[in-house]
């Protein structure tokens, strides 16, 4: 009996070679994808950035290839590309999908659906909007880069640079926000500057379908300040004609929606920052009192900036912060709460309590 | 005699495996229609079942359900009942197995055919479920020891993610005041039904000391809430219904920044693969024992006849599994939904029958002490 089993198992093991398994040298890895609108109306131009696997990492030399194909569907374009390379295209290491700005101004849902539906594409993949077009962004090859598309992955994941202007979005988040009632999706904008540099410092706010508003770098930073914890950035403070900059060591922001019986509904933001002085344009010595005055002045400036941003977003009718969802999650009248919210939203006022605490003057006074 | 802690192992296995057995799917479909209330009701019901069933089985130390039924009821009644239970246990295993084959094909090896995968699993399961119950319990304990830390790690990581949307979770919580739904309750009680494997494993237990029943309730509640609410935190209240493999997609959304592999999916897959194979083995072991007890030539006790008997049953198991492979994702889901409800009825009827058996045994004892 045992011998029969052994034989059976051996035969089965031999069979596994018959499965369509391909070795790494027969695969070519797609590391990033770009999708633009095609030349023909309704078509899509799909571009792939391929990384060629190499053996010796010490002698590594960035090798990449870019394929572009236009078709009426994404799948069709990818199948057509299969006959242009000798190896099997493998998508499991695809870490970013970039949609051309023109496409994102029309509709992102098609691409999003495709990316989430495909089984071999990760859900922790970064979505972004490419400016002026996705292909140009894919073509960027920074000098400092050794592995294809690594710079983009590092920048978006926050593993490398910790820029306060980058607000990356994973595909599962994008999908959540597209369908969720009371919150609207956002996407970072990646601009190509020549073939060796990119710039990610703007944020696109979308309604459920397309880009509606683009935030400037400053606004993007404030957006990040309000949505994230521990944002590492510098912020300005002007005091007695001097310009000061402080670096934030710790930040936190929270908000509550108030709907008082009398008076207008308002959202109260509480922002707390812990700072250290980084730059001082005047030659004055920073005393304890100056530090306190700076905190105050910095807080005022920040407050003004935040309130401007909040009003701007409210005017656009979008809800990237998820205020609507927050309102709904705190109310039990599930049938009517969203209707209530629609009436409340345009009337909202904003109150911001900013608490800037610059604790240190740096290494010198 | 086995220590009582193995009973907890059986319980824990079922409560963790619910993710594979379409319990999240059932709950998600009714997230706006009373799933949360059903969870809250399922917990006390499930705990009561656990308590009552173990107390009843305690009256028959060292005996399994077949011995109890056959000795206290006419053969004509006990045989069909045992047959139904045997089929139920088989289906419990087969759903886990097919669901897991499906997940393997989607997430791990899309290039491999479905049949090599299912045959691989079948060989492993069939070889293992013939092993005696005691070894299975030991094996189960070891496997829980390996997988439990991984599952805990994944859970902590899932909740600690700054992108986890607590607002979406709270939004679902505001739907709590809704009348409970029987289907969700059936799904919710599945977490507690690990105890029912005692039907066969009671042969090994002599006196189960059921301490800390509240712990069972708390664990069940926590796991149920995790099962139900964590995917909502990742995919939102509306988007969540679009995900087919809800929990595996959730695991795919968790990123591990500082480890050899970046994707939680693989750790999660490994933990659940071991656990679900173990659960199929345990379920089929019980199914096999039940089938054996009703086979007509059960009296022949030569070892060769026994062996043949087992392999015939296992052969049937495998053939049925391969035949069930024709189902697509919606049909499998439907089968799982039916199973979750029917098994609840089965549990109730088993407890009721046991009550009857206990009363009958007492009467018989009184008559001839």
- Could you please state the CATH topology (level 3) that the domain comprising B5-367 is classified under: Amino acid/polyamine transporter I (1.20.1740)
Give the Cα separation of B144 and A293 in Å (integer).
59
What gap in Å lies between CA B46 and CA B344, rounded to an integer? 10
The reported pLDDT for the residue numbered B310 is 87
Q: Is B299 exposed, middle or buried (CB count within 10 Å of its CB: 0-12, 13-18, 19+)?
A: exposed
Tens digits of residue pLDDT in A223-262: 999 998 888 899 999 988 889 999 999 999 999 999 998 8
- The whole-angstrom distance between residue B316's C-alpha and the CA centroid of its chain comes to 21
Interface probe with A: pick from B174, B232, B257, most Cβ of A within 10 Å:
B174
Report d(CA A211, CA A36) in Å as an integer.
15
| Prediction ipTM score | 0.87
B249: nearest CA partner in chain A: A123
The residue among B338, B289, B347, B298 whose CA lies nearest residue B317 is B289
Give counts: helices (H), strands (E), chain A.
11, 14
- pLDDT at position A335, please? 87
Residue B301: exposure state from Cβ atoms within 10 A (0-12, 13-18, ≥19):
exposed
Q: Chain A interface, mutation test: which of B237, B241, B269, most A Cβ atoms within 10 Å?
A: B237
pLDDT (average), residues A312-334: 92
Whole-number pLDDT of residue B172: 93
Residues of A in contact with B257 (CB under 8 A): 159
Model confidence band, residue A17 (pLDDT cutoffs 50, 70, 90): very low
Nearest to A176 among B170, B174, B235 (CB): B235
Question: Is the minimum CB–CB distance between A7 and chain B shorter than 8 Å?
Answer: no
pLDDT at residue number B294: 85
What confidence score (pLDDT) does residue B61 get? 87
Q: Could you tell me if B140 and B277 are in contact, meaning their C-beta atoms sit under 8 angstroms apart? A: no
User: Of A8, A20, A176, which has the smallest distance from its Cβ to B234's Cβ?
Assistant: A176
- pLDDT of A323 over the 50 cut: yes
Confidence at residue A110, expressed as pLDDT on a 0 to 100 scale: 92
What is the structure's pLDDT at A329? 92
Cα B234 to Cα B244: distance, rounded to the nearest angstrom: 14
CB-CB contact of B343 with B92 (8 Å): yes
Contact B238 A180 (CB under 8 A): yes
Contact B94, B321 (CB under 8 A): yes
Report whether pLDDT(A153) > 90: no
Asked whether residue A146 carries a pLDDT value surpassing 50, the answer given is yes
Task: Give the C-alpha separation, A28 to B230, whole Å.
Answer: 35
Q: Does A17 touch chain B (CB under 8 A)?
A: no
Of the candidate ranges A7-11, A351-355, B39-43, B341-345, the one whose mean pLDDT is the lowest: A7-11
Domain boundaries, chain A: 24-215, 219-360
Within 10 A of A160 (CB to CB), how many other CB atoms are there?
A: 13
State how far the Cα of A12 lies from the Cα of B97, in Å rounded to an integer: 19
> A267-294: string of b/e by CB count within 10 Å (b at 16+)?
bebebebbbebbebeeeeebeeebbebb
Pairwise CB contact (< 8 Å): B167 & A322: yes
What number is the average pLDDT over the span A273-295?
Answer: 89
Q: What is the pLDDT of residue A4?
A: 66
The residues pairing with A30 across neighbouring beta strands, listed in sequence order, are: A50
Beta strand pairing status for A64-71 and A169-170?
A: unpaired
User: How many angstroms from the chain centroid is the CA of residue B247?
Assistant: 16
Give dist(CA B332, CA B341) in Å, integer: 14
Measure the CA–CA gap between B210 and B35, rounded to whole angstroms.
Answer: 29
- pLDDT, residue A8, reads 65
- Contact call for B120 and A12, based on CB within 8 A: yes
Q: How many residues does chain A have?
A: 365
Question: What pLDDT is recorded for position A130?
Answer: 92
Cβ contact A149:A50 at 8 Å = no
Domain spans of chain B?
5-367
Task: Point out the least confidently predicted range of A133-147, A181-195, A286-300.
Answer: A133-147
Q: Which of A98-102, A308-312, B112-116, B140-144 is predicted least confidently?
A: B112-116
Give pLDDT, residue B21. Answer: 84
Q: A23 CB near a chain B CB, below 8 Å?
A: no
- CB pair distance less than 8 Å for A179 and B253: no
Task: Tell me which residues of chain A, numbers 204 to 263, contact chain B at a CB-CB cutoff of 8 Å.
Answer: 228-229
Contacts of B234 in chain A (CB under 8 A): 172, 176
Pick the CATH number of A219-360 from 1.20.210.10, 3.30.300.210, 3.40.50.300, 3.90.550.10: 3.30.300.210
User: Could you tell me if A130 and A190 are in contact, meaning their C-beta atoms sit under 8 angstroms apart?
Assistant: yes
The chain B residues in contact with chain A (CB within 8 A) are: 32, 106-107, 109-113, 116, 119-120, 123, 127, 162-163, 165, 167-171, 173-175, 177, 234-239, 242, 249, 252-255, 257, 262-263, 307
CA distance A95 to A152: 9
Output the pLDDT for position B82: 93
Q: What is the pTM of this model?
A: 0.89
170-199 of A, contacting B, C-beta below 8 A? 170, 172-173, 175-183
Do A119 and B170 lie within an 8 Å CB cutoff?
Answer: no
Helices B75-103, B303-324: crossing angle, 10 deg rounding: 50
B352 is written with which tokens?
């009721």
Facing A179 at nearest CB: one of B107, B234, B239: B239
> Are residues A179 and B177, on separate chains, in Cβ contact within 8 Å?
no
The whole-number pLDDT of residue B297 equals 58
Can you give the pLDDT at residue B46?
Answer: 94
Cβ-Cβ contacts under 8 Å between A and B: the total is: 97
- Residues 258-317 on A with a CB inside 8 Å of B are none
End-to-end CA distance of chain A: 86
Query: Do residues A234 and A278 make contact, with C-beta atoms less than 8 angstroms apart?
Result: yes
User: What distance in Å separates the CA atoms of residue A121 and residue A78, rounded to the nearest whole number?
Assistant: 14
Residues β-bridged to residue A28: A89
3-state secondary structure of A360: strand
Of the partner residues A1, A179, A332, the one whose CB lies closest to the CB of residue B177: A332
Whole-number CA gyration radius for chain B: 21
Query: What radius of gyration, in Å, describes the C-alpha atoms of chain A?
Result: 25
Average of per-residue pLDDT across A92-121: 91
Q: Which residues in chain B touch residue A328, judged by CB atoms under 8 angstroms apart?
A: 171, 174
**C-beta atoms of B123 and A12 within 8 A:** yes
Mean pLDDT by 10 residues, chain B (369 residues): 84 90 90 92 94 90 89 89 94 93 85 86 91 92 94 93 92 92 92 91 84 90 94 93 91 86 89 93 93 72 80 92 90 93 94 92 82
Contacts of A256 (CB under 8 A, 6+ apart): A267, A268
User: Across the interface, do A120 and B110 touch by the CB < 8 Å criterion?
Assistant: yes
Angle, vertex CA A33, rays to CA A32 and CA A36, nearest 5 = 150
> How large is the angle between the packed helices B35-58 and B182-189, nearest 10 degrees?
50
């Amino acid at each position: 009996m045992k011998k029969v089993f052994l034989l059976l198992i051996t035969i089965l093991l031999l069979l596994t070679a018959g499965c369509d398994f391909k070795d790494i040298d027969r695969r070519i890895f797609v590391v990033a994808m770009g999708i633009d609108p095609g030349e023909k109306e309704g078509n899509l131009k799909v571009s792939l950035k391929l990384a060629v696997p190499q053996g010796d990492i010490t002698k590594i030399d960035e090798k990449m290839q870019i394929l572009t194909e236009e078709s009426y569907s994404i799948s069709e374009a990818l199948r057509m590309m299969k006959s242009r390379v000798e190896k099997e295209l493998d998508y499991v290491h695809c870490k970013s999908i970039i949609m051309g700005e023109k496409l994102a101004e029309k509709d992102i849902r098609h691409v999003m659906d495709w990316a989430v539906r495909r089984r071999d594409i990760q859900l922790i993949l970064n979505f972004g909007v490419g400016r002026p077009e996705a292909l140009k962004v894919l073509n960027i090859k920074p000098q400092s880069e050794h592995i294809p598309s690594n710079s983009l992955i590092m920048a978006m994941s926050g593993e490398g640079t910790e820029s306060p202007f980058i607000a990356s979005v994973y595909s599962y988040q994008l999908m959540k926000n597209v369908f969720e009632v009371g919150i609207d999706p956002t996407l970072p904008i990646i601009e190509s500057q020549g073939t060796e540099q990119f710039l990610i410092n703007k944020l696109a706010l979308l309604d459920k379908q397309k880009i509606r508003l683009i935030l400037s770098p400053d606004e993007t930073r404030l957006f990040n300040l309000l949505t994230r914890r521990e944002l590492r950035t510098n912020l300005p403070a002007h005091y007695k004609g001097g310009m000061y900059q402080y670096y934030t060591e710790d930040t936190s922001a929270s908000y509550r929606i108030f709907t008082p019986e009398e008076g207008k509904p308002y959202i109260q933001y509480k922002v707390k920052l812990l700072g250290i002085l980084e730059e001082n344009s005047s030659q004055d010595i920073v005393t304890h009192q100056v530090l306190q005055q700076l905190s105050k002045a910095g807080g005022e400036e920040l407050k003004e900036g935040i309130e401007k941003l909040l009003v701007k977003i409210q005017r656009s009718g979008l809800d990237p912060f998820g205020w609507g969802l927050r309102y709904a999650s705190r109310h039990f009248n599930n049938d009517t709460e969203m209707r209530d919210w629609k009436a409340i939203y345009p009337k909202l006022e904003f109150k911001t309590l900013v608490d800037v605490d610059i604790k240190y003057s740096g290494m010198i006074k | 005699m086995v220590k009582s802690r193995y009973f907890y192992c059986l319980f824990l296995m079922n409560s963790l495996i619910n993710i594979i057995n379409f319990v999240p799917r059932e709950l998600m479909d009714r997230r706006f229609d009373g799933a949360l209330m059903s969870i809250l009701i399922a917990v006390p019901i499930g705990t009561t079942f656990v308590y009552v069933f173990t107390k009843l089985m305690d009256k028959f130390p060292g005996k399994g359900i077949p011995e109890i039924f056959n000795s206290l009821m006419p053969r004509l009644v006990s045989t069909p009942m045992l047959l139904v239970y045997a089929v139920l246990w088989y289906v419990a295993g087969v759903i886990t197995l097919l669901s897991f084959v499906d997940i393997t094909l989607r997430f791990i090896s899309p290039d491999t055919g479905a049949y090599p995968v299912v045959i691989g699993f079948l060989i492993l399961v069939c070889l293992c479920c013939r092993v005696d119950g005691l070894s299975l319990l030991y094996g189960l304990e070891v496997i829980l020891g390996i997988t439990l830390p991984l599952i805990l790690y994944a859970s902590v990581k899932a909740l600690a993610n700054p992108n986890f949307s607590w607002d979406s979770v709270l939004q679902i919580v505001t739907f709590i005041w809704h009348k409970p739904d029987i289907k969700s309750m059936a799904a919710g009680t599945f977490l507690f039904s690990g105890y029912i494997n005692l039907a066969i494993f009671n042969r090994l237990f002599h006196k189960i000391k059921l301490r800390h029943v509240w712990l069972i309730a708390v664990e069940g509640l926590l796991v149920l809430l995790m099962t139900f609410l964590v995917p909502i935190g990742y995919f939102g209240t509306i988007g969540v219904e679009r995900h087919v493999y809800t929990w595996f997609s959730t695991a795919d959304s968790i990123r591990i920044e500082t480890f050899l592999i970046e994707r939680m999916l693989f750790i999660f897959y490994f933990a659940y693969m071991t656990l679900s194979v173990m659960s199929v083995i345990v379920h089929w072991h019980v199914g096999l024992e039940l089938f054996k007890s009703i086979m007509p030539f059960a009296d022949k006790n030569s070892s060769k006849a026994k062996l043949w008997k087992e392999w015939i049953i296992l052969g049937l198991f495998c053939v049925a599994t391969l035949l069930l492979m024709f189902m697509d994702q919606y049909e499998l889901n439907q089968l799982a939904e039916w199973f979750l409800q029917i098994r609840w009825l089965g549990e109730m009827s088993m407890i009721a029958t046991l009550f009857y058996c206990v009363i009958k045994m007492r009467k018989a004892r009184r008559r001839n002490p």
